[in-house]
Amino acid sequence: MMIGRIQAPPTVRKGEPFEIKVLVQHPMETGFRRGMNGQSIPMNVVNKLTCTLAGREVFSAELGSGVAANPYLAFFAVATQAGEIVVEWSDDRGETGRLTAAFTLA
């Protein structure tokens, strides 16, 4: 179960940029660490995150091990119609997560 948090205004103005904040629970394992047993912990990071607005992609990110654990991203988007914000991500192991937030136009 992937956990994340999303924050966006419930009501936005058409054509006016608004901020979307996303926080994803993930260790962003670098592959450089070793566990207590001396074995190296394999790299596993959220490598891709995309955000669509009413079906249209507004932002995407390719992340590496240089992004802090439990990655935080904030970015802007412009809406032309009401709908849903969908944020999806996947990690090196192929696990995926999804967050949604609905918004209306003012």
Partner 1 sequence: MKRRHFLALPALAAVPARAQTGRFQPAQDVGPLVRKLADGMAPAEGGIEVELPQIAENGNSVPMRIRVDSPMSAADHVLAIHIIAERNPRPLVATFHLSAASGKAEVSTRVRLAGTQKVRVLAELSGKRFRIAQRDVLVTSAACLDESL
Partner 2 sequence: MNTAGRTLLAALVFSGAATRADIIAPKPLKSGIEFQGADVQALQRDEFANPGMLWVTRGERLWKAPAAQGPACASCHGDAAKSMRGVAASYPKHDAALGRVVDLEGRIRACAAAQQKREAPAWESEELLSLSAFVARQSAGLPIAVAVDGPASAAFERGRSLFFERQGQFNLACTQCHDRNWGGTLLGERISQGHPADWPAYRLEWQSLGSLQRRLRACYFGVRAAQPAFGSGDLVALELYLAARARGLAGAPPGGAQVAKIVHNPAGPNYNGSQPRSDRSRSQRRGTTQDKKNKRVDSQARADRSESLVRA
C-alpha Rg value of the chain to the nearest Å: 16
Residue closer to partner 2 by CB (options 4, 91) is 4
Of 27 and 42, the one with the shorter C-beta distance to partner 2 is 27
Please report how close the Cβ of residue 32 comes to partner 2 at its closest, in angstroms.
13
Cα torsion at 76, 78, 83, 89 (round to 10°)?
-30
What is the DSSP code (8-state) at residue 10? S
Among the listed residues 101, 103, 105, the one whose alpha carbon sits nearest the alpha carbon of residue 23: 101
Minimum distance of partner 2 from residue 81's CB (angstroms): 26
11 touches partner 1 (CB under 8 A)? no
What is d(CA 84, CA 34) in angstroms, rounded to the nearest whole number? 41
User: How far apart, in whole angstroms, are the C-alpha atoms of residue 92 and residue 63?
Assistant: 11
Q: What is the DSSP letter of 43?
A: P
Partner whose footprint covers residue 3, from partner 2, partner 1, none (CB < 5 to 8 Å by kind): partner 2
Enumerate residues 14-53 that contact partner 2 by CB under 8 A. Answer: 21, 23-25, 27-28
Q: In the complex, which residues of this chain contact partner 1 (CB under 8 A)?
A: 16-18, 28, 30, 32-36, 53, 56-69, 71-78
